[in-house]
Structure 1
Amino acid sequence: MLATGTPAPDFTLPNGPGTEVALADLLSKGPVVVFFYPHAYSSVCTEEFCGVRDDWSAWSELNASVVGISVNTPFVVAQWKQEIGLPFELLSDFNKDTSAAYDAIYDEFFGLKGVAKRSAYIIGTDGTIAYAWQTEDAGVQPDMDAIKAALT
């Protein structure tokens, strides 16, 4: 896990086939909350992101961008976002470069290698890590209240 105060690795990742989202563009609007998650359509990831969606009025008042990053393909993240009606971006790190840069890859996940590790970061407008959380247990979700409090 990256430590608070360290520079956040830059990224530009697809949010669907043929379109991309850049960290620099998001930071120009304010802080960025980055959730790394193992897989679209999994029960814990669905619960985590539907919880953010259902509390979106509170999240939107914090003036921060929210993104989810997994190693799923751009097609999968775009479809899953649409199916569960998320008001924030899901990004594909299929090549695993960003997940590795954020030290957010499980050594092994149900026999699979290179799966994004459940993590949460807040990146301040200065480009440094302002908040960091990570778990080895993919069944554990981040403390959303703590993340929102760190943004205030």
Structure 2
Amino acid sequence: MALPVGTAAPDFALKSKTPEGLVEIRLSSFRGRKVVLLFFPLAFTSVCTEEMCRMTEALNAYGRLDASILAVSVDSPFAQEAWAQREGIHIPLLSDLNKEVTRTYGVLLPGVLGIGDVAARAAFVIDRQGKIAYAEVTANPTVLPRFSAIEETVGRLD
């Protein structure tokens, strides 16, 4: 079960591949800012590509709301980087290859397509104090999160 609204968002440190190399990104380094934390099943899939491209297009709008966007999947950082380059994705993609963060947030989806465990499609909005202000896990990984509800939540946070 996903972490509920009002819960302190668990800190994590995950790797992301950037042009400068592998970097570690900690959720706690965003304290004082609003964060949209997205979990997605797999890079190089159509629905995940649509979601990350839509959020890339919205980066400026979220920036004006003083919010950062982070996206987590169980893919390797190298696969995430190749996908981001191919699709023009400019959101930090964080690798949870060992599935610890996905499990901690309660969004591990077991046995997808006979491939194995992946992240469910989920969205969390984390306020400036590190509390979850919005939580959504889609019932089906082919369904996108409610972008309007995410943006509305970010906009009403101080």
Instruction: Work out whether the TM-score is over 0.5.
Output: yes
Q: Aligned with 2:94: secondary structure? A: strand
Match of 2:22 in 1: 18
Please give the alpha-carbon distance, in whole angstroms, between the structure 2 residues aligned to 1:7 and 1:129.
6
Alignment coverage as a number of residue pairs: 151
Question: 1:1-152, aligned counterparts within 5 Å?
Answer: 1-16=2-17, 18-28=22-32, 30-152=33-155
Q: Which runs of 5+ in 2 are unaligned?
A: none
Please give the alpha-carbon distance, in whole angstroms, between the structure 2 residues aligned to 1:121 and 1:150.
10
Q: Post-superposition shift, 1:57?
A: 2.7
**Could you tell me the percent identity over the aligned residues?**
37
Q: Post-superposition shift, 1:137?
A: 0.4
The worse-fitting range, judged by mean Cα deviation, of 106-115 and 31-40 is 106-115
Please give the alpha-carbon distance, in whole angstroms, between the structure 2 residues aligned to 1:13 and 1:27.
16
Please give the alpha-carbon distance, in whole angstroms, between the structure 2 residues aligned to 1:43 and 1:101.
26
Answer whether contact 1:106 1:136 (CA < 8 A) is retained.
Answer: no
Higher strand share: 2
Q: Post-superposition shift, 1:97?
A: 0.3
The worse-fitting range, judged by mean Cα deviation, of 141-150 and 83-92 is 83-92
For residue 83 of structure 1, what is the amino acid of its counterpart?
R
Q: Which runs of 5+ in 1 are unaligned?
A: none
Answer whether contact 1:52 1:59 (CA < 8 A) is retained.
Answer: no
Q: Aligned with 2:70: secondary structure? A: strand
Q: Post-superposition shift, 1:108?
A: 2.1
Instruction: Give me the TM-score of the superposition, normalised by structure 2.
Output: 0.90
Please give the alpha-carbon distance, in whole angstroms, between the structure 1 residues aligned to 2:117 and 2:61.
33
